[in-house]
Structures are given as structure tokens and as C-alpha cells.
């Protein structure tokens, strides 16, 4: 868009802090890009591709853990919080990465894993060495239950048939781990743990990071009595049930720590509870998390009623309490959204040929929705290329949570190596590439203005130009079944977003409080998911393509 239609630049929307307007991009370092040719992604690889991310237009990078780790949970089992695993590089390379990212206008957010350490962390090694050890109380130890078994009925995250406890023969007690036995839970009732974990935050904030992503942060407060979970949730991992008042006090003091730094540092929390209302409480009264991930959309099928419900719940529970929502379609813990949408469609009887035709169109429409809903969107590396999950050959599975497919390496170009040098890994990268890397790769799509990659770029550019799309108000508009229609409005601009979840063309009247139905003349197409950019900037003709999505714009009268 150019300025001729009066929608560019500051447009009367409330600007707010950067993280309200930002588009975040999640980097899973093992799989993003390989700088040293050992088959595993690293900090050098990230640095080499920062310019590509700046070209895409994202504002902030969230980098999943790159700290020393035995890698049982691929970095979410940390054995040293204040250093870089040699697999990924050095602390100097991290500093250089942050400097360069900042030079390119990209903010950097790092992961903080406060609920558990690795069992190889020196704190746990000491804690397990004897009941009287200095770090014993840094973890959650209990005597055996009445029958000599685990102290309560909590089950762990990746294997719900297994207790969240492991017996330690040396000291005759069980230790708690909401995740794998290699990830013992820290005891946040112990003040030395709180102090040590605050120091970790300071370490990274002092190095100049712009924010923190806090892993399963709702789990850092536990009922000290460790009561059994109720029988009706038997088999549900305790990590998705734990919701204790004391966590809110802990988050308030973490918030004070973060806010004491200059420059609007922020914290986005992973609060993996299944109710949006419960998640919303972790924003506190604007004094806990700045942002919390919103998981129902990450699990929702591509079905209009599901999405309407997700948006309504979020607007009620999060925006309704004055907090700022987040939106995410994919991450490193779940099948990619295109994979989920395809398999859902297959389950509902869609034949393979139709699926092949509609799959990318759905991914395009989803991009429009993700980037126009009210709140901060988080992209997961590779969704801008339309990646689906890799098929992992039997015997090559690595992750204890079965999540390898969505963690496959990013194809950077159409060469046989897809940009992953084989210097010391002749068999290629640590996991196989996702399907169709010959076309679903960065270089090929960058050369094609009609690609999904370019669509993401155009929507992000439009958000930047029309602040209303990030910080404007939200209002539903009437729409036929199978179509979501909503306005984003500021004093000066009206953005009208239409998303067609069906395989049939649809017509929606541009009704609004200040616009008589049927009058499309004043609206221009800001972005269209179809037609390879065609029609963008032109007046809208009233027909929404099958599986199509458009963003319409006009100045407020």
C-alpha cells in the first residue's frame, strides 16, 4: 500500500509498548540453521540468517534454549543457566548475535526454565548426594507413600502412565519431576532457589536481551501439602493442572525485577492450563506476566465455530480484564498447524486430491487470521514456508514427547543439502527435512512474489504501516456460516478482515455502524491470501474466494 489511500503511518491507534505491536518469531536453534556443518543448528546459523528475518519483517525473536544440557528434553533440561552449550556456540557468539539483531531492528527474547533443572545440574547432583547436602532443599524430596510407592498420584508430562516421582536409592526418598525423571522440579519455597533463579534472569537481562519466555511458569508454586490430584483427572499430567495462588506472588516479584530494567523489557509466560480464564489470571492486575501464551488456538481445528469460540473466550477472559492477548498457530511442542488442518480434513472425509488443493490455501488464510487478531502473534520458524511435519523413520525418533516432526530442519534453498552444509555430518542434519523441501524453502519462495513467504511478509508490512491492525479495537461483523468477519478500528482507520474457512466462495456485506450494507466502494484490499497479491490496493469486489482471506481498509469517515 502507498500513502495515497490515507492508511499509512501513525493512524490514531494507541501505540503502547513494543511487544503489543510486535510480531514474534520463534527459533528452535537445533533446527533453524547450521553455521558449522555438524548437522545441528546453532547460534552462528541464526546470525547468518538474521537479515532474512529482518527482510520478513518480524520484530522480535524468541530463541528456545541453547544452554548447556544433556539434551534429554533437547535443552529444556538445563545444566548451566548462564552459559551456551558448545553444540550451539559460545557466550561471545550470543553477544554478537544480540548486537547484530539489534542493529537490524530485531529484539531478542530468551527462554528461562524455572520449574526444573537437568538432573546433571550441579545443584541436583549435590542435592542427591545426601539428605544433609547443601542443595537438598532446592528440590522437592518426600518419603515414600504408605505402601512404599510415590508420595502422591501426580503423573508426569510425557508418559501419563508414569508417576511424576522417581525413587532415589542413595537417600531413600522420592524426588518430584513434572516432566522426565531427568528434569527434577526446583523447590521455589526455598529462598535460595528464588534468589538463584532471579540471578539467572539478571544475567540475561544484563546482557541486553529484550525479554524472557518463561517455561511452564505456572508450575513454580505448588501446594506444599502436595495433595493427590482428584480421581476425575486421573492420567492428566499434573503440569497442566497445577494452579496455585502462591505463583502469583512469585510472578509479581519477577515482574518487578524485569520492569526495573530500562527499555520495556518483557516476559511472556507459558501457562499451560487448559482454561483461557485460568491463564488470564497470570497477567495479574498488570503486575505479573506481560504476555501469556494462548494455547486453545494452537490446538483448534481449522473450523470457523472453533475459532470463533477461541476468539470470544480470549476477548472475554484476557482482553476483558485489560490484558493483552497472544496468538499462536504452531510451536516446537505440537504438530504444525498445516499438518493438523490436513489430518483433520482427512478425518472428516476430505479426499487426498482436494486436500492437496486446499492445504496451502488454508495455510494462507490462517496466516491472515493470525496476523490480524487483536493481540501479539507468535510465528514458529518455517510456518512462513508452509512447512508440514517431517515423517520420522522408525528408529530415528529422538524426543521423549514424540515432537520430532515439528522440529525438522528448515530448508533454506533448493539444493540437495537445503543450506545445511555437510562438513562433519555427511548423513545430513539431525532430523530429516520436512516434506517438499524443493519448493517449501526460503530461497525458492523468496524468488516467487506469489509464495506464502511473501504473503507473510506483506501482512507483516501492512501491520507496520497500519497500526490499527495491531493496536486498534476489535468488533465482530455479521457473516455467513463458515466465515469469520471482524473489524479492527482506530479513530482514523477501519480494517475489515474476512476469513473463509469453507471451500466455497462467500459473500459478506460490509455492514457496520457507519456503513450501509452493500457498499464496497470505499474499501480497498490491503492483503489478499489468494491471487498472488493481485487485487491488493484495488477496490474489493465483494466475493471471498474459497478458503480465502482478505484484509480490507478504509479511512474512518
Q: Which residues are catalytic?
A: 215, 270
CA-nearest of 168, 189, 164, 167 to 178 is 164
Cβ proximity of 178 and 76 under 8 Å: no
Closer residue to ligand NOJ in complex, CB, 130/402: 402
Shortest Cβ distance from residue 499 to ligand NOJ (Å)? 28
CA-nearest of 477, 473, 452, 476 to 527 is 452
Dist CA 489 CA 430 (whole Å) = 46
Query: Cβ neighbours of residue 27 under 8 Å, at least 6 residues apart?
Result: 46, 61, 62, 63, 64, 381
End-to-end CA distance of the chain: 19
Dist CA 521 CA 510 (whole Å) = 10
Taking CA atoms, 221 is separated from 114, 150, 272, 274, 378, in Å, by: 11, 20, 14, 17, 26
Shortest Cβ distance from residue 467 to ligand NOJ (Å)? 31
Closer residue to ligand NOJ in complex, CB, 124/486: 124
Dist CA 23 CA 106 (whole Å) = 10
Shortest Cβ distance from residue 240 to ligand NOJ (Å)? 11
Q: Is 456 in the site for ligand NOJ (CB under 6 A)?
A: no
Dist CA 177 CA 115 (whole Å) = 9
Closer residue to ligand NOJ in complex, CB, 113/499: 113
Closer residue to ligand NOJ in complex, CB, 73/119: 73
Closer residue to ligand NOJ in complex, CB, 113/379: 113
Residues 254-273 that bind ligand NOJ (CB under 6 A): 270
Closer residue to ligand NOJ in complex, CB, 222/332: 332
Shortest Cβ distance from residue 205 to ligand NOJ (Å)? 21
Q: Max Cα separation, the chain?
A: 77
Shortest Cβ distance from residue 216 to ligand NOJ (Å)? 5
Dist CA 447 CA 502 (whole Å) = 30
Dist CA 292 CA 276 (whole Å) = 10
Structure letter (DSSP) for residue 207: T
Shortest Cβ distance from residue 367 to ligand NOJ (Å)? 22
Closer residue to ligand NOJ in complex, CB, 28/501: 28
Query: Cβ neighbours of residue 132 under 8 Å, at least 6 residues apart?
Result: none
- For residues 192, 194, 200 and 206, what is the CA-based torsion angle, rounded to 10 degrees? -110
Q: Is 62 in the site for ligand NOJ (CB under 6 A)?
A: no
Residues 71-110 that bind ligand NOJ (CB under 6 A): 73, 76
- For residues 242, 246, 249 and 254, what is the CA-based torsion angle, rounded to 10 degrees? -50
Q: Is 179 in the site for ligand NOJ (CB under 6 A)?
A: yes
Shortest Cβ distance from residue 86 to ligand NOJ (Å)? 21
Dist CA 506 CA 479 (whole Å) = 9
Q: Site size for ligand NOJ, by CB under 6 A? A: 10
Q: Is 113 in the site for ligand NOJ (CB under 6 A)?
A: yes
Q: Is 399 in the site for ligand NOJ (CB under 6 A)?
A: no
Beta strand 493-500 pairing with 549-555: antiparallel
Dist CA 129 CA 124 (whole Å) = 8
Cβ proximity of 53 and 45 under 8 Å: no
Q: In the bound complex, which residue of the shown chain has the CB atom lying closest to ligand NOJ?
A: 76
Shortest Cβ distance from residue 390 to ligand NOJ (Å)? 17
Beta strand 473-476 pairing with 376-380: unpaired
Residues 208-227 that bind ligand NOJ (CB under 6 A): 215-216
Closer residue to ligand NOJ in complex, CB, 113/329: 113
Binding mask 317-346 for ligand NOJ (x = CB under 6 A): ---------------xx-------------
Binding site for ligand NOJ (CB under 6 A): 73, 76, 113, 179, 215-216, 270, 332-333, 401
Amino acid at each position: 500500500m502507498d500513502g495515497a489511500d490515507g492508511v499509512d503511518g501513525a493512524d490514531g491507534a494507541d501505540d503502547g509498548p513494543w511487544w503489543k505491536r510486535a510480531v514474534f518469531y520463534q527459533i528452535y536453534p537445533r533446527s533453524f540453521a547450521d553455521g558449522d556443518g555438524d548437522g545441528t543448528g546453532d547460534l552462528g546459523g541464526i546470525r547468518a540468517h538474521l537479515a532474512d528475518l529482518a527482510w520478513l519483517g518480524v520484530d522480535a525473536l524468541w530463541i528456545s534454549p541453547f544452554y548447556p544440557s544433556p539434551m534429554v528434553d533437547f535443552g529444556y533440561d538445563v545444566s548451566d543457566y548462564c552459559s551456551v552449550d558448545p553444540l550451539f556456540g559460545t557466550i561471545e557468539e550470543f553477544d554478537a548475535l544480540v548486537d547484530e539483531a539489534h542493529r537490524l531492528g530485531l529484539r531478542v527474547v530468551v527462554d528461562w526454565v524455572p520449574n526444573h533443572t537437568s538432573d546433571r545440574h550441579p545443584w541436583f547432583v549435590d542435592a542427591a548426594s545426601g539428605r544433609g547436602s547443601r542443595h537438598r532443599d532446592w528440590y522437592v524430596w518426600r518419603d515414600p507413600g504408605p505402601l512404599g510407592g510415590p508420595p502422591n498420584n501426580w503423573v508426569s508430562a510425557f508418559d501419563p502412565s508414569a508417576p511424576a516421582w522417581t525413587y532415589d536409592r542413595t537417600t531413600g526418598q522420592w524426588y518430584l519431576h513434572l516432566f522426565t525423571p531427568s528434569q527434577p522440579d526446583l523447590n521455589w519455597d526455598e529462598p535460595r532457589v528464588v534468589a538463584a533463579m532471579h540471578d539467572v534472569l539478571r544475567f540475561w537481562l544484563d546482557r541486553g536481551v529484550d525479554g524472557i519466555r518463561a517455561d511452564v511458569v505456572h508450575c513454580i508454586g505448588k501446594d506444599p501439602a502436595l495433595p493427590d490430584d482428584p480421581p476425575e483427572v486421573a492420567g492428566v499430567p499434573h503440569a497442566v493442572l497445577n494452579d496455585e495462588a502462591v505463583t502469583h506472588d512469585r510472578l509479581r516479584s519477577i515482574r518487578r525485577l524485569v520492569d526495573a530494567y530500562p527499555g520495556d523489557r518483557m516476559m511472556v509466560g507459558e501457562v499451560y492450563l487448559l482454561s483461557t480464564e485460568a491463564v488470564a489470571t497470570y497477567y495479574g492486575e498488570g503486575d505479573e506476566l506481560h504476555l501469556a501464551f494462548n494455547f486453545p488456538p494452537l490446538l483448534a481445528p481449522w473450523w470457523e465455530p472453533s475459532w470463533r469460540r477461541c476468539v470470544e473466550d480470549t476477548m472475554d477472559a484476557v482482553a476483558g480484564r485489560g490484558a493483552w492477548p497472544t496468538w499462536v498457530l504452531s510451536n516446537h511442542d505440537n504438530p504444525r498447524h498445516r499438518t493438523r488442518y490436513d489430518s483433520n480434513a482427512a478425518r472428516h472425509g476430505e479426499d487426498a486430491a482436494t486436500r492437496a488443493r486446499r492445504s496451502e490455501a488454508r495455510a494462507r488464510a490462517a496466516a491472515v487470521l493470525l496476523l490480524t487478531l487483536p493481540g501479539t502473534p507468535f510465528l514458529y520458524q518455517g510456518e512462513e514456508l508452509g512447512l508440514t511435519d517431517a515423517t520420522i523413520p522408525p528408529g530415528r525418533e529422538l524426543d521423549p514427547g514424540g515432537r520430532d516432526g515439528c522440529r525438522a530442519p528448515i530448508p533454506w534453498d533448493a539444493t540437495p543439502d537445503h543450506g545445511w552444509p555437510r562438513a562433519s555430518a555427511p548423513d545430513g542434519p539431525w532430523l530429516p527435512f520436512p516434506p517438499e523441501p524443493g519448493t517449501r524453502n526460503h530461497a525458492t519462495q523468496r524468488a516467487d512474489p506469489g509464495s506464502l513467504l511473501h504473503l507473510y511478509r506483506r501482512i507483516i508490512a501492512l501491520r507496520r504501516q497500519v497500526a490499527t491492525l495491531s493496536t486498534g479495537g476489535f468488533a465482530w461483523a455479521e457473516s455467513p456460516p463458515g466465515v469469520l468477519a471482524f473489524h479492527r478500528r482506530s479513530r482514523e482507520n477501519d480494517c475489515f478482515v474476512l476469513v473463509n474457512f469453507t471451500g466455497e466462495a462467500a459473500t459478506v456485506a460490509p455492514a457496520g455502524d457507519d456503513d450501509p450494507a452493500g457498499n464496497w466502494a470505499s474499501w480497498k484490499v490491503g492483503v489478499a491470501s489468494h491471487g498472488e497479491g493481485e487485487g491488493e490496493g484495488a477496490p474489493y469486489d465483494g466475493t471471498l474466494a474459497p478458503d480465502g482471506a482478505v484484509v480490507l481498509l478504509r479511512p474512518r469517515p
